[in-house]
Amino acid sequence: MKKEKTALQMIAGAARCPEYGPAMVKALMKKLDMNEKGFALLMNVTPTTVRLWTSGAVHPCGTAKRLMQIYDTGPEIVSIIAGEKEIVNAT
């Protein structure tokens, strides 16, 4: 009987976060259908920070990259965070 991996085990076994350079940040914003202001709210940073990421003047920190990876992998989490969708327990 195969036991499902926990979220912690999956994260621990995951590869390093992508670098999320300007093109990847812009692509994620497009995927999530967000402008700089909306993406800044989601990431809990200022729109200026998002602008710096998208221009390449500054690189996202490790925590920001992990959040971007989560949103990129499971964009539906944004709806859950916004309260538009309920979390479904798969037990």
d(CA 68, CA 54): 13
- 42: domain CATH number? 1.10.260.40
Range of the domain at 24: 18-81
Q: What per-residue confidence (pLDDT) applies to 1?
A: 46
Does residue 76 fall inside a structural domain? Answer: yes
Q: If we measure between CA atoms, which residue out of 51, 57, 63, 61 comes closest to residue 26?
A: 51
d(CA 28, CA 20): 9
Does residue 24 fall inside a structural domain? Answer: yes
Does residue 3 fall inside a structural domain? Answer: no
- Among 3-7, 77-81, 85-89, where is mean pLDDT lowest? 85-89
Q: What per-residue confidence (pLDDT) applies to 12?
A: 65
Task: Kindly tell me if the per-residue pLDDT of 3 is higher than 70.
Answer: no
Q: What SS3 state is found at 21?
A: coil
d(CA 77, CA 84): 10
How many domains in the chain?
Answer: 1
Task: Kindly tell me if the per-residue pLDDT of 2 is higher than 80.
Answer: no
Does residue 36 fall inside a structural domain? Answer: yes
Does residue 51 fall inside a structural domain? Answer: yes
Please give the biggest Cα pair distance in the chain. Answer: 51
The model's pLDDT over 14-34, given as tens digits with 9 standing for 90+, comes to 667 899 999 999 999 999 999
Does residue 43 fall inside a structural domain? Answer: yes
What the block records as the tokens of 85 is 């969708």
Does residue 8 fall inside a structural domain? Answer: no
Does residue 64 fall inside a structural domain? Answer: yes
The model's pLDDT over 31-80, given as tens digits with 9 standing for 90+, comes to 999 999 999 999 999 999 999 999 999 999 999 999 999 999 999 999 88
